[in-house]
Structure 1
Amino acid sequence: MTNDNDHRDHSIELTSQGAGTYWYLPPECFMFGKNPPKISSKVDVWSVGVIYYQCLIGKKPFGHYMSQNDILEQNVILKAKAVDFPNKPVISNEAKAFIRRCLVYDKDYRADVKTLFKDDYLRQNRSLKSVSKIQDISSNLIYDQM
Structure 2
Amino acid sequence: MKKVLGNFWVSFLTIILFGWAMISFYSANIEFARIVIEDVEPPWEVTISATPIFFILLLGAFLIPLSYYYNRKRKKKSWLQFLFMPTELVDDDEREQMITGNACRNAYISMWISFPIALTIFIFVYPFIKETMPYFPIIVILLVPLVQVITFHITLKKQL
- TM-score category (smaller protein): under 0.3
* Higher Rg: 2
Q: Higher helix proportion, which one?
A: 2
| TM-score normalized by the length of structure 1 | 0.25
Which protein, 1 or 2, shows the higher relative CO under an 8 Å CA cutoff with sep ≥ 6? Answer: 2
| TM-score normalized by the length of structure 2 | 0.24
